[in-house]
Amino acid sequence: MHGCMLICMNTSVLAEPPTFAAAVPTHDSATSQAARGHQESTLLAAFFQDVLLDLSTYLRLVVFLPPSSVTSATTRSQAAQSEEEMEEIRRGPWTTEEDLVLIKYVAQHGEGRWNALARCAGLKRTGKSCRLRWLNYLRPDVRRGNITPEEQLLILDLHSRWGNRWSKIAQCLPGRTDNEIKNYWRTRVQKHAKQLHCDVNSTTFKDAIRYVWMPRLLERIRAASGGAAFSASCTSPVATATAAAAAAADPPPSHPLKQPERATLGPETVESSLSEDSLPTPFSCFADCHSTTMQGWGGWEPDSLSLPVCCDEQGGWPSGDLLSSESLWSMEDDWFMQHQIQSYQPYC
């Protein structure tokens, strides 16, 4: 959305160049504004509507000098030029002006050849930096905002299959970047592991995700969309396609619970009874989510542990506040996981 707005705005600017009659803030003020961090779309709007571009900037951004003229410094020796470039390379937050230059250039010339792009567009950035800025922030289809429960579920599921293959996981979440997913994992998921005094890669924590977190996400999704609506969403083209693509593109590795580390757990543990077939993906769960219970989720065996907090007395789903929390994690969950951790102490 944000990215779209950027492009739309840029396009409108192309169609209707801003007037320069009004007195305008200096470049410094525009730059400092941008340096505040995340340039919201409103800031960019302000950039064009209220803020101003002096004529030379306008020419560069809107009329856009062809690359050949931008790189007219061919008279300089290559060595001197590269030396100069080394000195001029900018780092740190991107300014609105830089963003616009990049957007404009990509709109005209397409993505790729980032080093050349950086040079030709007159950006004092490395090609790497340009690529990153474009892919993670400026790309029209980049999606911003909170990670939805559906996306969380998918991330948790795909991470259990592929590990830290952020780029690969991101391909299954349209509009989300690998960086965003990686940050989500580190800030949210790892935080919970820390709270539980458990390594994020430990099987115990993975179980927590599988048996507590993911079912709760499923329930939250169901609660949010209602039964019928949820069933419909379960079979949405995106969900189906991404799940199918994920499965087809690269079959999941041998199930984590069946990996060597898991084999050491012994037959008395909960997951020892699990088979690969009994571990559905969230999407396969969607289909029969109405009848899903903890017992149905991945072959849960309540006898192995005390009643999971995510079940009510009838073995059903919890309701109300417990599921409404942003983190889907509660003190009860902590208690539950601590209980599990005690059981698994040697393995955590």
Nearer to DNA, 201 or 295 (CB): 201
Q: How many residues bind DNA (CB under 7 A)?
A: 39
Residues 193-232 that bind DNA (CB under 7 A): none
Residues 100-129 that bind DNA (CB under 7 A): 112-116, 125, 127-129
Mention every residue, 6+ apart, whose C-beta is less than 8 A from residue 324: 220
Counting contacts by CB under 7 A, is residue 94 touching DNA? yes
Select from 1, 35, 59, 63 the one that contacts DNA (CB under 7 A). 35
Nearer to DNA, 151 or 178 (CB): 178
Which residue pairs, CB below 8 angstroms and at least 24 apart, start in 105-111? Answer: 105/64, 106/134, 106/138, 107/7, 107/10, 108/64, 109/67
Closest distance of CB 95 from DNA, Å: 8
Counting contacts by CB under 7 A, is residue 65 touching DNA? no
Instruction: Provide the CA 133 distance to its chain's centre, in angstroms.
Output: 15
Nearer to DNA, 133 or 220 (CB): 133
CB of 279 closer than 8 Å to CB of 220: no
Nearer to DNA, 125 or 210 (CB): 125
Closest CA to 187 of 155, 214, 221, 212: 155
Residues 296-325 that bind DNA (CB under 7 A): none
Q: Which residue has the tokens 């169609």?
A: 15
Counting contacts by CB under 7 A, is residue 183 touching DNA? yes
Closest distance of CB 309 from DNA, Å: 22
Closest distance of CB 50 from DNA, Å: 19
Counting contacts by CB under 7 A, is residue 263 touching DNA? no
CB of 193 closer than 8 Å to CB of 200: yes
Select from 27, 109, 165, 255 the one that contacts DNA (CB under 7 A). 165
CB of 285 closer than 8 Å to CB of 311: no
Draw the binding track, 128-157, toward DNA (x: CB under 7 A; -: no contact): xx-xxx--xx------x-------------
- 233 — phi, psi (to 5°)? -70, -25
CB of 299 closer than 8 Å to CB of 273: yes
Closest CA to 344 of 151, 219, 196: 196
N residues, the chain:
348
Q: Which residues bind DNA (CB under 7 A)?
A: 35-38, 90-94, 112-116, 125, 127-129, 131-133, 136-137, 144, 164-168, 178-180, 182-184, 186-188, 191
